[in-house]
Amino acid sequence: MKCWVRRPGALRVETIDGRLLASTTKINNSKDTLFISGNRKPWMLPPAMTNPVKDGQGFVVRRPEALYGEPAYGSGRFAAALDPVELAGERPVPLEKPYANVAEIENITEVQHHGRTAIQAVLTANHSYVPLFPAAPLLYPGRTVVRIDVETAVCVASQSLDGDTAGAGHSMILLGIDEYMLDDLFEEVSMGLTDVRAHIPWDLGPAS
């Protein structure tokens, strides 16, 4: 499959030969109804407007509460892979408490994934591991190899190593980052917009 994602909520999914499988619609509709829903979620800031807590090496150790979430398709594994916070948790855990992290980490290495730098490790889920989508966890029973793209933090690959699920997992290739995309990709009815990236020919006719 090929996917186009425009965060926070736009997704288009096609087969390799270009057949449309799914697309979010009504991305430009009014959001007024959200603000009378009676809960605090609509008032939370988008992630881009918050600052995570980082350590001296620049690694995030705590991310603030915000309106996180990725567009989902199918089982939810795609959304979980785009924001794989379930592999680390959102905050530090007490050092004196054994197995308090969501997973035990081994064999950390730097690898290349289709031309992009990634970090690969073997993770074993602890009792505190809670997948974003219970039907589509990134970590399987036993050990799971996971691969995280360094630039985007997307979980580009995972593979179960043990038990009945051995060999299961996912793999994706990032073809572009922060590219311009028309609203037409995510609208139910095309607005006939012009893709300004494409050359527009001008037929001036013969010179007089």
Is 73 part of any domain? yes
104 lies in some domain: yes
In a domain, 162, yes or no: yes
Does some domain include residue 23? yes
- Is residue 193 one of the residues assigned to a domain? no
Which of 15-29, 123-137, 155-169 has the least mean pLDDT?
15-29
Model pLDDT for residues 189-201, shown as the tens digit of each residue = 555 555 555 655 6
| pTM, 2 dp | 0.74
Q: Average the pLDDT over each of 43-57, 79-93, 136-150 and give the range with the smallest value.
A: 43-57
Q: Does the residue 180 lie in any domain?
A: yes
134 inside domain: yes
Query: Would you call 111 exposed, middle or buried from its count of C-beta atoms within 10 A (0-12, 13-18, 19+)?
Result: exposed
In this structure, what are the phi and psi dihedrals at residue 4, rounded to the nearest 5 degrees? -115, 130
The confidence score (pLDDT) of residue 35 equals 45
Distance CA 31, CA 80 (A): 25
- The number of folded domains in the chain is 1
**Mean pLDDT rounded to a whole number for the chain:** 80
Is residue 148 predicted with pLDDT exceeding 50? yes
Structural domain harbouring 159: 2-186
Question: What pLDDT is attached to residue 33?
Answer: 47
| All residues at 6 or more sequence positions from 33 whose CB lies less than 8 Å from its CB, including other chains | none
Kindly state whether residue 203 falls inside one of the protein's structural domains: no
Cβ atoms of 15 and 23 within 8 Å: the answer is: no
| pLDDT tens track for 22-42 | 887 765 555 544 444 455 566
